[in-house]
Amino acid sequence: MINKKRLLATFIDLVKIDSESRNEKEVAEYIKKKLKKLKIKFYVDNSHKKTRSNHGNIIATIISDPKLPTVVLSSHMDTVVPGKGIKPIVKRNYVTSGGDTILGSDDKSGLAIILEILEIFSSGKIRHLNVEAVITTCEEIGLLGAKYLDYKLIKSKEGIVLDSTSPERLVIKGPASDFFLIEVNGVEAHSGVNPELGLSSIKIASEIITKIKTGRINKNTTINIGKINGGSAINIIPGQTTMSCEIRGNNEKTISNQLGIIKKLLARTEKKYKKLDKRASIKFKKERIYDSINIKRDSMLVKRILKTCKDLKYKIDLVETGGGADANFFVKNGVNTVNLGTGMREFHTKNEKLILKEFYQSADIVFNCLLERVD
């Protein structure tokens, strides 16, 4: 049974440890020390060589019975900024920060729940599904820890990521994400001496921006131009402008069609400006960030979670999200993974809170759904 006092104390310990992305070593040492004390086997992978973090992912394993299924429990160690010197304040119904930093419930609430469950299971007195706890780095800067995890080392075929808001929401569906870069090349010239010899890349880019449909394209597809860089000085006609963009959606055909529309626009625009100067060019580059999630309602873990919530009289809905999480990379690599909320609210802001009732409820759901039972 979940020890609420211990669970909260672990969470407070964790958020007091600075662990902004790529600086997870100190919190990793805390986790490893706890695992060693509980005599739980773990190893650290070499993902740091690619993520450029100061620590790798931690994978801890507890085997109850080799004949039973093995499942992943996952959360991430890193936080967004400002995440240094967090001073958690425990109120009656929630935990918040002092107001100068985030709280770090994303995702140290999930991490605390996993450590609590590992501690209970480490006694060997409870029969449960086998657990692979995968604790990742660099989630907040592109899911890098999960991206570079060696999935050959993971035996589980299903998993739970604890990295969402309410435990009354079980995320079983989410979009794929493609990053695309538009590079516009004009011609530099002195803006005061001979501007007529130049061709402004910013002007060309602005024309493109006005013609790309952004925001919500349809119910399940979004496009965003998130970052623009251009020019080198106020007295130089800008020669290059880049636009960093993203498209998200759960229908590959729609994603392909929308990117096709954008490519045709770029081709037409390039042709137009090459007539003014042959040196003008527009380049397009695309990279898949992560694949979509679409977990079946009749999967083993979804059924277990639904039954657990019914038995415990907890409300829970199967939902779709527009965001990404480590679950996207688990799914891509053959581990069908859902995302359960932990009670975090207003995360990534200085007003962040962890709702204690929901925090304990999330832990209760995960613990009970992992208990070995005869359905």
d(CA 357, CA 342): 10
Active site (catalytic) residues: 78, 139
Instruction: Determine how β-strand 353-355 pairs with β-strand 344-345.
Output: antiparallel
Range list of H helices, the chain: 4-15, 25-37, 48-51, 105-121, 144-147, 201-211, 252-274, 300-312, 326-332, 356-370
H or E, element range at 320? strand 317-320
Q: Is 25 left (phi over 0), alpha (psi -120 to 50) or beta?
A: alpha
- The reported pTM is 0.89
User: Superfamily assignment of 4-174+292-370 in CATH?
Assistant: Zn peptidases (3.40.630.10)
| Phi–psi pair at 202, nearest 5 degrees | -70, -40
* Residue 145 confidence (pLDDT): 98
Q: Do domains 4-174+292-370 and 176-290 have the same CATH topology?
A: no
Number of neighbours of residue 220 by Cβ within 10 angstroms: 18
- Give the residue from 295, 345, 303 showing the smallest Cα distance to 321: 295
Domain positions in the chain are: 4-174+292-370, 176-290
* Residue 62 confidence (pLDDT): 98
Low-confidence ranges of the chain (pLDDT < 70): 373-375
* Residue 248 confidence (pLDDT): 96
d(CA 186, CA 236): 12
Burial code (b: 16+ CB inside 10 Å, e: under 16) for 295-321 equals beeebebbebbeebbeeeebebeebeb
> Selecting from 3.10.580.10, 3.30.70.360, 3.20.20.60, 3.30.465.10, what CATH number does the domain 176-290 have?
3.30.70.360
d(CA 302, CA 33): 32
* Residue 30 confidence (pLDDT): 98
